Amino acid sequence: MTADATKPTRSDRPDRADRPDRVERYDHLATEPKWQQRWDELGLYKTKLDDTRKAYYLLTMYPYPSGDLHIGHWYIKTPTDAIARFHRMHGENVFLPIGFDAFGLPAENAAIKNKINPRDWTMRNIENMRRQLRSMGATFDWDSEVVTADPEYYKWNQWFFLQFLKAGLAYRQKSPVDWCPNDGTLAREQVEGVERRCWRCGAKVEKRDLEQWYLRVTKYADELLDFSEIQFPDPIRIQQTNWIGRSVGAEIVFETAPSASHAGGEPLRVFTTRPDTLFGATFMVIAPEHPLVGSLTAPEKQAQVEAYIAKAQAQTEIERLSTDREKTGVSIGADAINPVNGERIPIFVADYVLGGYGTGAIMAVPAHDERDYAFARQFNLPIRRVVAAPGDEAAAVDGGAYSAHSDDERLVNSGEYSGLTADEGGRRIVAMLEAQGKGKAAVTYRLRDWLISRQRYWGTPIPIIYCPTHGAVPVPESDLPVRLPDEVDYEGSGVNPLTRDEKFLNVPCPICGEPSKRETDTMDTFMDSSWYWYRYLAPKKQDGPIDLDLMEGWTPVAQYTGGAEHAVMHLLYAREFTKMLRDLGMTQQNEPWRRVFNQGQILGMDGERMSKSRGNVQDPDELVTKYGADTVRLFLMFMGPWDQGGPWSPTGMGGVHRFIQRVWALAMDPTYREPGDPAAGTLPDGQSQEAARAAIRAAAHRTLRDVTADYEAFHFNTMVAKLMELANTLFRYRGSSVAGGPEWDEAIQLLLLMLAPAAPHVTEELWSRRLAARGEAWSSIHTARWPEVDQA
RNA sequence: GGGCGAGUGGCGAAACGGCAGACGCGCCGGCCUUAGGAGCCGGUACCGGCAACGGUGUGAGGGUUCGAGUCCCUCCUCGCCCACCA
């Protein structure tokens, strides 16, 4: 950068003009836009997808255009950009696309509040975010951009849904939602307080059963537990494993006993992980949602049971599963018969059993399960121990459940199975039940099918038409996309406006032409985010969602980076989606990505999540104007380990800024002697010239070795620290007899190359001056090759 | 409640099981300056000492080891996630 007359820098102010020893200082305001424009003109970051070089697909989670792009977005994107540049310098063909996760609830909230169209709100935010993301000098290939609210994108969500439907991977089922009489379905975050009131109108929130669409992802439960083709950080792998929650046990069929109000003989299936404790079952518990509750409940218990079910429905699953909560439940006035010994045991309905897990019913063994124990104590039910260590058989169970079983324990009080080990006894009991058709070995999962229906406007319409004679009819593929109407009137309420939109609603049945109604639910936005990186490869493709040839060459994605808050949901849904694509025959791939890294999250200065409503967002624009994009980039990498995050604090930004100025000074003016340095111009510790030259060379190559390793391991904070150390070392030699010599020159060259991925503008500027000074033709530092370590 | 992480100077943080605190901020001192909220050099874990040096130190308590910030157990505190926020 040459001194610009319109923008005086510190060094060329008039009162400085008489100071010839002053070094020209780096002016980010002039330099950064200049190079950004140059890179754009040269198309430096447009990826040729059909190139033969080694492909490196680097994917960063696309942002939600919330309208408050904050420093946290930069914290995510900046190191990713540095990784891209690092790989380019290794000669790889790097693809780093970007897009926007444009559907979702916040746009609707803003629309209702401010009476604007969600599309306008979203697109305005996207426009601003594009500008901000460009200002950081990131190497995104904008030609590949994807916006999920674009009909050309969501059309393919609909297409995928229809394929899944055909393949039997999608189905419709009733399931409960949180419902407000004024605002319709509510998200969890829209239900406030223990009172469970609507955030918008304060009305009491109810549960309502709606017909909703599911994707059959539980089909992949076992396969999802296999992580051999995907490198996850350990915590993510563990969280997904727990989420899928594979339990091995048995399904056992109890029968209801005859009573005054009931003939009996009705099968009641339970799942248990401990079939060995079947003789210890002293009662049975069914979930409030269990389909047989109504028919089994004795008339005199009816009122009590109904009241209990109503109460249970007002609670969240998290509350229901809380183990330190007092157990509640009511007897339904019916008994079940234990298939192993014919014993009659009472049936209760209790909320600690969930309708959605296992069979929605359990055999309760209070001696060997903590929850059953607590319930038994609460209701004075018998507790019978059936597993014990030798000599311990008679010991009472009163301190709590005794659930551990070790090798020296044997079954007791278990009829002909007494004396066997728990494992052996369990196996034989299951075998016996199986022979009688009263049970079988079984595996259950905590993972549930993916509920994709949302009672919202701002999402992908589910392409179904309900005909009075033909039922749920898929929209023909040729009629896709089912477009969201542009005109939308919320009438100040959260209720999905599609349900009132006559033009949208009324269509003929595709089969018979009779007047029919469109589905008004839209899709979960996790659907959008489950395949967007495939679309990046051919975002304008008209005749299909994905270019399958490019897909084979570029995916699985080499590296995916994003926030740890997505550990289970997005990162699991997307894996499921890829497996479904495979089962549709579109690909052979089993996993969407090869390697995933999770960065930490930048919180506000108050330690809370950054959001406009909390008023704790840090706007990156101010910082860029003040310090320059390079300083902000470097600071974000330097502040701590990338996977850690933490509260935002700009303290220390000045130190990074100073480092950049020092690099500038080293490269621009090696022979300058600092007047404030008593040792300026002398070699440290009375070193000989030869020793000094060797020391410079050793420092540069040692740094290269360490910095290369740090880039590879995403240890950006120590990478910056090591470059600072090298700069400090070089500063000790600045102005001395070795400064400007060949070893010095090599060290400067390495320093610039190593810094280039992290601080692309200042290094490009210094690089261009360096080439000019040598009379060499210009070429971008970002196309230079990463240097080789020479540890001579 | 459950799952997953994290606790190290005044602050952000370093540290293959091997001299704890690299690097940076802040602070203190010096230099250079008409000037300094610029730049440069030096110091800075804590307690004691002018100093050499001595003692104490990685949330608390136990354990493994020749040796533990690091590995194991118990506990405390904080953060993230728990299926309609994305």
Nucleotide nearest to A104 (CA to C1'): B86
Task: Give the distance, in angstroms, between the CA of residue A624 and the centroid of all CA atoms in the same chain.
Answer: 28
- DSSP characters over A738-772: TTTSHHHHHHHHHHHHHHTTTSHHHHHHHHHHHHH
Q: What is the DSSP string of A365-422?
A: -TTT-HHHHHHHHHHT------EE-TT-TT----SS------TT-EE-S-GGGTTSBH
**pLDDT for A641-699, tens place per residue?**
998 888 888 888 999 999 999 999 999 999 888 888 878 888 887 889 999 999 999 99
Q: Grade residue A337 by pLDDT with cuts at 50, 70 and 90.
A: very high
Tell me the nt nearest to A185, Cα to C1'.
Answer: B84
Report the predicted TM-score, pTM, of the whole model to 2 decimal places: 0.90
Q: Is strand B within 7 Å of residue A605 (CB)? A: no
How confident is the prediction for chain A on average, in pLDDT? 88
Q: Mean pLDDT throughout A16-30?
A: 62
Q: Which of residues 449-468 of A touch strand B (CB under 7 A)?
A: 450-451, 453-456
Is the pLDDT score of A20 beyond 50?
A: no
pLDDT in tens, A140-173: 999 999 999 999 999 999 999 999 999 999 999 9
Tokens of A771: 């080439």
Distance CA A361, CA A359 (A): 5
Is A525's pLDDT higher than 90? yes
- Nearest protein residue to nucleotide B80 (CA to C1' distance) is A565
pLDDT score of A323 more than 70: no
Q: Is the CB of A390 under 7 A from strand B?
A: no
Q: Is the CB of A520 under 7 A from strand B?
A: no
Q: Spell out the residues 6+ positions from residue A125 whose beta carbon is closer than 8 angstroms to its own.
A: A65, A66, A67
For A697-724, b/e burial (b = at least 16 CB within 10 A) is bebbbbbbebbbebbeebbbbbbbbbbb
In angstroms, the CA of A637 and the C1' of B14 are apart by 15
pLDDT at A49 over 50: yes
Is the CB atom of residue A666 positioned under 7 angstroms from any atom of strand B?
no
- Count CA within 13 A, CB hemisphere, residue A662: 20
How far, CA to CA in Å, does A523 sit from each of A91, A149, A455, A516? 41, 12, 9, 21
A176 CB less than 7 Å from any atom of strand B: no
Spacing of C-alpha A321 from chain mean position: 24
Tell how far CA A302 is from the center of its chain. Answer: 45
d(CA A135, CA A172): 46
- Gyration radius of chain A's alpha carbons: 33
Residue A640 has pLDDT above 80, yes or no: yes
> With a 7 Å cutoff on the CB, does A656 touch strand B?
yes
Distance A567 CA to B77 C1' (A): 24
Nucleotide showing the shortest C1' distance to residue A102 CA: B86
Q: Distance between CA A386 and CA A753 in Å, rounded?
A: 71
CA–C1' span, A540 to B59, in Å? 55
How many whole angstroms separate alpha carbon A671 and alpha carbon A734? 6
Q: What is the pLDDT of residue A395?
A: 56
The nucleotides of chain B lying under 7 Å from a protein CB are: 1-6, 11-15, 22-26, 30-35, 38-42, 79-86
Strand B closer than 7 A to residue A681 Cβ: no
Quick one: average pLDDT of A216-245? 89
Q: What is the pLDDT of residues A414-451, one digit of tens each?
A: 999 998 888 889 999 999 999 999 999 998 888 889 99
Per-residue pLDDT tens digits for A561-595 = 988 788 888 999 999 999 999 999 999 999 999 99
Q: How far is the CA of A512 from the C1' of B27 (A)?
A: 83
ipTM attached to this prediction: 0.93
